[in-house]
Amino acid sequence: MSTSIHVELWQVAASLVLVALAAAISFWQRADLERDILVATGRSIVQLTLVGYAIKLIFDVDSIWLVLLLLAVMVFFGAITARHRAAKVPDSFGPLLIALALAGAGTLGLVVALGIFEPTPRYLVPVGGMVIGNAMTASAVALNRLGDEMADARARIEATLALGATAREAAAPTVRRSLRSGMITLVDSTKTTGLIFFPGTMVGMLLAGASPTDAVRLQLILLYTLLGSVSISALTATLLAYRHFFTPAAQLREP
């Protein structure tokens, strides 16, 4: 699967014409997005260039430890980012950190153990980034839902506790719905993949000159890997986080 193409800087510069078109449309229709378009373009150039150099460094050093360090940093910042979406869940950072770490380690460990990818930076860095990024989105969505549902279902949960149900039993319908909402986006997009949109990896590989067969196969592997990652992270995050709403005596904490 080693394909490579060379992209000249002038080609990148020329594509800015389309940015100018977007800005012109915004100005003409008074959508008031010109400033945002400018900022977005600037940030994309700076951020991607920096990431490019970081990845080049990691590929050059070719150390598995450096890759693991990078993945650990991704997990840490992923958990911080997801925490903002899960504001209604008390102390959500711990569950998110564990969820992302488990999703990353579990899925990458499996694809390497199954011999699908070699344990080299060239595979682990991009796949790890996708796995952790998707795990972050899924666990953030799941905990966001969990926070809303626990607030809405407070009366029903306490009435169930009043029957002598455990916290786990009383929260079960809520946990189930939260897990579902964390996973459903990727499940749905996996259903429609190729029909409604071409996923990024496939597009990238086709552009880079790979055969369509290889592009499709790699894309399938990645989709299935992401499904695994998303389910591990959403499950771990919800199962750890729902406990934070209860005391050890199976009482609902005051909001």
- Contacting residues toward another protein, per CB under 8 A: 155-156, 158-166, 169, 173, 249-252, 254
- Residues facing residue 193 across a β-bridge: 197
Residues 134/230, Cβ–Cβ less than 8 Å: yes
CB closer to another protein, 34 vs 169: 169
CB closer to another protein, 131 vs 167: 167
Residues 202/219, Cβ–Cβ less than 8 Å: yes
How far apart, in whole angstroms, are the C-alpha atoms of residue 204 and residue 195?
17
CB closer to another protein, 153 vs 220: 153
Q: Give the shortest CB-147-to-another protein separation in angstroms.
A: 19
Q: Give the shortest CB-54-to-another protein separation in angstroms.
A: 48
Residues 51/44, Cβ–Cβ less than 8 Å: no
CB closer to another protein, 223 vs 252: 252
Q: Give the shortest CB-84-to-another protein separation in angstroms.
A: 25
CB closer to another protein, 137 vs 160: 160
Tallying the residues shown for the chain, one arrives at: 255
| CB crowding 65-87: b at 16 or more within 10 Å, else e | eebeebbeebbeebbeebbebbe
Q: Give the shortest CB-168-to-another protein separation in angstroms.
A: 11
Q: Give the shortest CB-135-to-another protein separation in angstroms.
A: 30
Closest by alpha carbon to 122, among 176, 171, 39, 61? Answer: 61
Q: At what angle do helices 121-152 and 167-192 cross, to 10 degrees?
A: 130
CB closer to another protein, 126 vs 173: 173
Q: At what angle do helices 64-85 and 34-61 cross, to 10 degrees?
A: 150
Q: Give the shortest CB-246-to-another protein separation in angstroms.
A: 11
